[in-house]
Amino acid sequence: MLTAFARAFKTPDLRKKLLFTLGIIVLFRLGAHIPVPGVSYVNVNYCMDAAKGQGGDLFGLVNMFSGGALLQLTIFALGIMPYITASIILQLLVVVIPRLEALKKEGQSGQAKITQYTRYLTVALGVLQGTGLVATARSGSLFPGCDRASEIIPDQSIFTTMVMVITMTAGTALVMWLGELITDRGIGNGMSILMFIAIAAGFTGSLWQIKLSGKIMDGWLEFGAVILVGLAMVGLVVFVEQAQRRIPVQYAKRMIGRRSYGGTSTYIPLKVNQAGVIPVIFAASLLYIPALLVQFSNSTAGWATWIQANLVSPDSAMYIIVYFVMIIFFAFFYVAITFNPEEVADNMKKYGGFIPGIRAGRPTAEYLSYVLNRITWPGSLYLGLIALVPTVALVLFNADQNFPFGGTSILIIVGVGLETVKQIESQLQQRNYEGFLR
């Protein structure tokens, strides 16, 4: 492993890409500590200390994706979350709107147009989320229970609010640009790497908080137990993320003139976790909506009390059940809109491909749907169990909602890490005929 790192840095162009990526990462982390103009940094630190570095459960997901910058109200407070939301919305709209579906089929030019729409939507969502964040901070709801929460923004004039929203939106656009720079001139997918860095930045704080809250051997026993559980979780996630069902495909041999085409064998790789981390993000985002309604309505009616008791606290049985069921539903939903068995079957038939033992056309589409449904069930159950790990940790170790070894964080960390290592390995193999991992 160490020799592979040495070979990577000895290769001039690969070394240039790695150093460029590291430089962008440094800029990204620097921006996560620069406060927005108009924010009282002293009061923010006071409230952060009072809350032991943890915000309310309501902002846990967004705070995790921003590397802790959200609750500190920095220029990168919104982080990569508006871009993630915009990308998911565009993916759903491609299935619904024929014009976007036609653009997707146009190839590189159409994809460039969809990317442009994603950028515009990211800026619009940045304005919307920035306005909501500033309004929440002004009302004192960002740090419930802190006596200085309403003094985080001393000057609550319209001009100051506009400057803060514009700064946060510009920060989101800058993060998006930095991610695209990594994709074009660095190693790996830029947005994924920035997500990886933002989540990994909170690992040490979460682990140390578990140690401080432990009671056996000054917390070292709990700390060691969490590390062991974390290693087991990483192994499980790597195993499932790499698991796939390979459906063999045979292409018939065709004679065009004097040349022979086709006659090759390949396969369709269907991953067990075909949906990735998207179902977890969908479920968590929808579960925030009832909590938002209760928080901003300040109602004490029966429905508000029921939501507060059952759909806000993550250690509630109703919350766990609804969260788990929603993850399973969105796993099937997202797989259904991203993988079309009929379209795959038609393309195979068009180019003379067939699955051995299965007739081309409709029987192939039915077979693909059957296989996809069977592997989506264990994939969705796996996602649901992984997503509930932070809830279990909250009860057992008094950890926060950003518990490092579980949920969205571990899925993204392992997934991005595997893809980045594969890219470095492929580039090393092109030059040295030896991979990153021997």
Q: How confident is the model at residue 438 (pLDDT cuts 50, 70, 90)?
A: low
- Asked if the structure places residue 9 within a domain, the reply is no
Residue 433 has pLDDT above 80, yes or no: no
Q: For residue range 86-113, what is the model confidence (pLDDT) as tens digits?
A: 888 888 888 788 888 888 888 788 888 8
List all residues 6 or more positions away from 358 whose beta carbon is below 8 Å from its beta carbon: 364, 367
The number of domains in the chain is: 2
Residue 52 has pLDDT above 60, yes or no: no
- Ranking 93-97, 239-243, 261-265, 336-340 by mean pLDDT, the lowest is 261-265
| Same-domain status, 277 and 170 | no
Q: For residue range 304-321, what is the model confidence (pLDDT) as tens digits?
A: 777 777 776 666 778 888
Buried/exposed code over 153-186 (b: 16+ C-beta within 10 A; e: otherwise) = beeeeeebbebbbebbbebbbebbebbebbeeeb
What is the C-alpha separation between 161 and 361, in angstroms, rounded?
A: 59
Residue 79 has pLDDT above 50, yes or no: yes
The pLDDT mean for the chain works out to: 80
- Asked if the structure places residue 97 within a domain, the reply is yes
| Same-domain status, 93 and 128 | yes
What is the arithmetic mean of pLDDT over 153-166? 87
- Asked if the structure places residue 429 within a domain, the reply is no
Burial of residue 79 (number of CB atoms within 10 Å: 0-12, 13-18, 19+): buried
Residue 327 sits in a domain whose CATH number is 1.10.3370.10
Considering only residues 396 and 202, tell me which one the structure prediction assigns the higher pLDDT. 202
Q: For residue range 13-42, what is the model confidence (pLDDT) as tens digits?
A: 888 888 999 999 999 988 888 888 888 888
Q: For residue range 141-158, what is the model confidence (pLDDT) as tens digits?
A: 777 777 777 778 888 888
| pLDDT for res 375 | 92
Q: For residue range 313-359, what is the model confidence (pLDDT) as tens digits?
A: 666 778 888 888 989 998 998 888 888 888 888 888 887 788 888 88
| Same-domain status, 195 and 46 | yes
| Same-domain status, 210 and 305 | yes
Going 388 to 390 to 392 to 394, the CA torsion angle's sign is negative
Axis-axis angle for helices 81-96, 98-105 (nearest 10): 100
| Same-domain status, 122 and 253 | no
| pLDDT for res 314 | 66
Residue 131 has pLDDT above 50, yes or no: yes
Instruction: Tell me what percent of the residues of the chain surpass a pLDDT of 90.
Output: 13
The answer to whether 191 and 80 are in contact (CB under 8 A) is yes
| Same-domain status, 371 and 301 | yes
| Same-domain status, 197 and 226 | no
| pLDDT for res 124 | 93
- Ranking 133-142, 219-228, 310-319, 413-422 by mean pLDDT, the lowest is 310-319
| Same-domain status, 36 and 184 | yes
What is the C-alpha separation between 269 and 363, in angstroms, rounded?
A: 19
- Asked if the structure places residue 338 within a domain, the reply is yes
List all residues 6 or more positions away from 206 whose beta carbon is below 8 Å from its beta carbon: 399, 400, 402, 403, 404
| pLDDT for res 53 | 42
Question: How far from chain centre, in Å, is Cα 398?
Answer: 24
Tell me which residue range forms the domain holding 144: 14-201
Written in H, E and C, the secondary structure of the chain is CHHHHHHHHHCHHHHHHHHHHHHHHHHHHHHCCCECCCCCHHHHHHHHHHCCCCCCHHHHHHHHHCCCHHHHCECCCCCCHHHHHHHHHHHHHHHHCHHHHHHHHCCHHHHHHHHHHHHHHHHHHHHHHHHHHHHHHHHCCCCCCCCCHHHCCCCCCHHHHHHHHHHHHHHHHHHHHHHHHHHHHCCCCHHHHHHHHHHHCCHHHHHHHHHHHCCCHHHHHHHHHHHHHHHHHHHHHHHHHHCEEEEEEEECCEEECCEEECCCEEEEEEECCCCCCHHHHHHHHHHHHHHHHHHHHCCCCHHHHHHHHHHHCCCCHHHHHHHHHHHHHHHHHHHHHHCCHHHHHHHHHHCCEECCCCCCCHHHHHHHHHHHHHHHHHHHHHHHHHHCHHHHHHHHHCCCCCCCCCHHHHHHHHHHHHHHHHHHHHHHHHHHCCCCCC
| Same-domain status, 119 and 94 | yes
Going 386 to 25 to 30 to 152, the CA torsion angle's sign is negative
What is the arithmetic mean of pLDDT over 43-61? 62
| Same-domain status, 244 and 114 | no
- Asked if the structure places residue 53 within a domain, the reply is yes
Q: Of 201, 218, 250, which closes a domain?
A: 201
Most confident of 89-93, 214-218, 387-391: 89-93
| pLDDT for res 94 | 83
Q: Of 154, 186, 201, which closes a domain?
A: 201
| Same-domain status, 272 and 169 | no
- Asked if the structure places residue 411 within a domain, the reply is no
- Asked if the structure places residue 425 within a domain, the reply is no
Residue 174 has pLDDT above 90, yes or no: yes
What is the C-alpha separation between 330 and 274, in angstroms, rounded?
A: 12
- Asked if the structure places residue 321 within a domain, the reply is yes
Q: How confident is the model at residue 267 (pLDDT cuts 50, 70, 90)?
A: confident
Residue 54 has pLDDT above 50, yes or no: no
| pLDDT for res 298 | 65
| Same-domain status, 153 and 44 | yes
